[in-house]
Amino acid sequence: MESNGGTMEAKNKKWLSTKYPHIVFEDNEVGRMKKELFEAPMSEIDRILEDYGIPSPSELGKGGSYIQTTPRYETIEKRRKNDVLLIPIGCSENHGDHANTGLDTFMVTQICEAVRRKSIKQGCEVNITLPPLNFGAHPYHHIGMPGTVIIPSETVKEMLIYTMLGFWNDGYRKMVLINNHGHLWVLVDAIQEFMKRFQLPAIVQVIDWHRAVREFFYPTDEEDSLSTHFIHAAEAETSVARLLFDEMINMDYVKDAQGEQFLPEGHFDLSVDPYRRPHRWSEGEGHFAIERYATPEGVVGTPSKGEARKAKRPIAAILKYLTMTVDHILQTFPAGVLPDIQKVSNRDLKELEAFLKEPWAEGWKSVYELPQVGPFHKN
Q: Is residue 134 part of a domain?
A: yes
pLDDT of 256 above 60: yes
Helix (H, G, I), strand (E, B) or coil at 176: strand
Say what the pTM is.
Answer: 0.94
**Nearest 5°: CA angle at 107, between 105 and 111?**
115
pLDDT of 52 above 90: yes
Give the H/E segment covering residue 88.
strand 84-89
**CA-to-CA distance for 167 and 174, rounded, in angstroms?**
9
Cβ-Cβ contacts under 8 Å for 268 (sequence gap 6 or more): 277, 279, 280, 281, 283, 284, 287
Q: Is residue 83 part of a domain?
A: yes
pLDDT of 376 above 80: no
Domain span including residue 210: 13-369
Backbone angles phi, psi at 224, to 5 degrees: -95, 10
Region 120-132 average pLDDT: 97
pLDDT at residue number 2: 42
Number of domains present in the structure of the chain: 1
What is the layout of strands, in order, in the sheet containing 203-208?
127-128, 84-89, 174-179, 203-208
Q: Is residue 214 part of a domain?
A: yes
Report the relative pairing of strands 24-26 and 15-17 from DSSP bridges. Answer: antiparallel
End-to-end CA, the chain: 42
Region 207-222 average pLDDT: 97
Q: Is residue 272 part of a domain?
A: yes
Q: Tell me: the pLDDT tens digits for 231-248?
A: 999 999 999 999 999 999
Band of the pLDDT at 347, cuts 50, 70, 90?
very high
Q: Is residue 351 part of a domain?
A: yes
pLDDT at residue number 233: 96
Q: Is residue 68 part of a domain?
A: yes
Q: Is residue 4 part of a domain?
A: no
Kindly report the CATH number assigned to the domain that includes residue 327. Answer: 3.40.50.10310
Q: Is residue 376 part of a domain?
A: no
Band of the pLDDT at 8, cuts 50, 70, 90?
low
**CA-to-CA distance for 81 and 85, rounded, in angstroms?**
12
